[in-house]
Amino acid sequence: MGKLVVHQEKIQDIQAFIKLCPFNAMEEKDGKIEINAACRLCKLCVKKGNGGMEYVEDEAKPTVDKSQWKGITVYVDHVEGRIHPVTYELIGKARELAAKIKHPVYALFMGSGIADQAKEVLHYGVDKVFVCDMPELKDFKIETYTKVFETFVNKIKPSALLVGATPVGRQLAPRVAARFHTGLTADCTILDMHENTDLVQIRPAFGGNIMAEILTPNTRPQMATVRYKIMDAPQRSEQESGTIEALEVPASELKARMEVLEVTKKPKEKSIENADVLVVAGRGVKKKEDLEMIQQLAEALDGDFACTRPLVESGWLDAKRQIGLSGRTVRPKLIITCGVSGAIQFVAGMDHSEQIFAINSDPKASIFKVANYAVVGDLYKIVPKLIENIKQGRGLA
């Protein structure tokens, strides 16, 4: 990416020049024009500035020797050895990506007393599981886990690292990326691979208005985090495949400035992520009291209810019930959306549902593009009728 260079001597009318920018990214200071953080590099000031602004390309950066970096690695996310399901989803995607470039698939498993659990990963088609099993790794400490990750990367040189967007993954991935001065794309919804081993990382950007395609062509390893229930997990094979290899890290390098004194387990709570049936309220719900109707439909279907971001921001429901990239990612067998427009941010959090039933009064609503069943109409007429029919053992007449 290049930069803008201001030629102050060529600017006759500073205020008129400032008005060229639609993003208000230019301002006057001490009789000179300065560019602020609002700049989008649209280059309109270059085109219409009569030489007052120039775009200068950055010097070409030396590219990394990509042939020295091989393999797609998945970080095995776990709590006390219980492997998080997002790990298996990432292994499935890693196998797909690796097949395109004929690279192996690795898994990195670190912790204490995890030797037996590491064998479980072999049932999902990885070529090799690297295990660092040490007492110093019993509790998650960012310094020690980052050190193990750094040792692994330096030794194996994987081309790409995939990490689940869990509480641990969201802390660990940025630290590792910083150690290697490489890029990290968070909350990817689509991953692909070019033949030159460049990982294509796609995620919604600018408030969900566009889908950004991000590449890291000049550094390795490439890194991405992915939320649970975004990818498809492979079927568990009865037979083990691949091998397990110990990853040696000197205990002296695993000293941390933080000590875990006690772990208090969070009480189990009902989560929309585990619901087989979800009824979702959108902005089409006119007032908070009307949410009772949405809850009644969910109860009639023996399911749970959720909402979109505007309802959380209005204080109508707790953030734990929000679906979308800024909320929860769900994958129920059936999801019924009521008055949901279907913004990209929301759709990215539920479009892998088995059956999507959408109710909206706007026939051009974006939600209908992903729905299996679309009902155009007033939810205040449709939902009560649907509740009545379900209670009587009938569908939507």
Tens of pLDDT, residues 225-268: 999 999 999 999 999 999 999 999 999 999 888 889 988 888 87
Cβ neighbourhood burial of 248 (10 Å; 0-12, 13-18, 19+): exposed
**Structure tokens, 108:** 């990195």
Counting the structural domains of the chain, the total is 3
Q: Which residue has the tokens 């790409």?
A: 160
Assigned domain for 181 exists: yes
Up-side HSE of residue 372: CA atoms within 13 Å toward CB? 12
Q: At what angle do helices 379-391 and 291-300 cross, to 10 degrees?
A: 30
- 77 & 122 share domain: yes
Nearest to 88 by CA among 114, 38, 125, 117: 125
Backbone angles phi, psi at 8, to 5 degrees: -60, -35
Quick one: 161 and 46 in the same domain? no
Does pLDDT of 81 surpass 80? Answer: yes
Domain around 144: 66-254
Report residue 58's pLDDT band, with 50, 70 and 90 as the boundaries.
confident
Distance separating alpha carbons of residues 75 and 106, to the nearest angstrom: 9
What is the rounded CA–CA span in Å between residue 281 and residue 294?
Answer: 7
Q: Which residue has the tokens 């990239």?
A: 325
Predicted pLDDT at 80: 87
For 286-302, the pLDDT digits (tens) are 999 999 999 999 999 99
Percent of the chain with pLDDT over 90: 86
- Is residue 327, in this structure, part of any structural domain at all? yes
pLDDT at 193: 98
What is the reported pLDDT for 266? 81
Closest CA to 196 of 369, 64, 20, 347: 64
- Among residues 223, 254, 285, the one where a domain terminates is 254
Give the mean model confidence (pLDDT) for residues 23-48: 92
The average confidence (pLDDT) of the chain is 94
pTM: 0.81
pLDDT at 249: 96
Residues in the chain: 397
Q: Could you tell me if 49 and 74 lie in one domain?
A: no
- Helix, strand, or coil here: 166? coil
Q: What single string gives the DSSP state of each residue in 200-233? A: EEEEEETTTTEEEEE--TTSSSEEEEE-TTSSPP
Query: Do 52 and 78 fall within a single domain?
Result: no
Q: Residue 96: is its pLDDT beyond 60?
A: yes
Q: How does residue 320 score in pLDDT terms, banded at 50, 70 and 90?
A: very high
Q: Among 188, 141, 198, which Cα is nearest to 168's?
A: 141
**What's residue 60's pLDDT?**
61
Residue 269 has pLDDT above 90, yes or no: no
SS (H, E, C) 238-293: CCCCCEEEECCCCHHHHCCCCCCCCCCCCCCCCCHHHCCEEEEECCCCCCHHHHHH
Q: Helix (H, G, I), strand (E, B), or coil: what is residue 380?
A: helix
Please state, as a whole number, how many other Cβ atoms lie within 10 Å of the Cβ of residue 229. Answer: 20
Measured CA to CA, the distance from residue 118 to residue 62 in angstroms comes to: 38
Inside any domain, residue 262? no
How large is the average pLDDT for residues 341-347?
92
Rg of the chain on CA atoms, in Å: 25
In a domain, residue 397? The reply is: no
Q: Three-class SS of residue 307?
A: strand
Averaged pLDDT for residues 340-363 = 94
Query: What CATH number did the domain enclosing 281 receive?
Result: 3.40.50.1220
Q: What is the pLDDT of residue 1?
A: 65
pLDDT at 394: 65
Handedness of CA 146, 148, 149, 153 (dihedral sign): positive
In terms of domains, do 113 and 221 share one? yes
The CA distance from 74 to 129, in Å, is 9
Region 35-43 average pLDDT = 91
Decide: 124 and 88 in contact? Cβ < 8 Å. Answer: yes
Reported as a pLDDT band with limits 50, 70 and 90, residue 34 is very high
Report the run of H or E that residue 376 belongs to, with start and end: strand 373-376
Neighbours of 295 (CB within 10 A): 13
196-218 average pLDDT score: 89
Q: What is the largest CA-CA distance in the chain?
A: 80
Looking at residue 265, what is its pLDDT? 85
CATH number reported for the structural domain that contains residue 48 in this entry = 3.30.70.20
CA-closest candidate to residue 37, choices 46, 24, 47: 24
Same domain, yes or no, for 72 and 43?
no
CA distance 24 to 9: 21
Domain finish residue from 36, 56, 76: 56
Q: Are 8 and 26 in contact (CB under 8 A)?
A: no
Residue 61 lies in a domain: no
Q: Is the pLDDT of residue 148 over 60?
A: yes
pLDDT tens-place string over residues 20-32? 999 999 999 999 9
For residues 93-102, give the mean pLDDT. 98
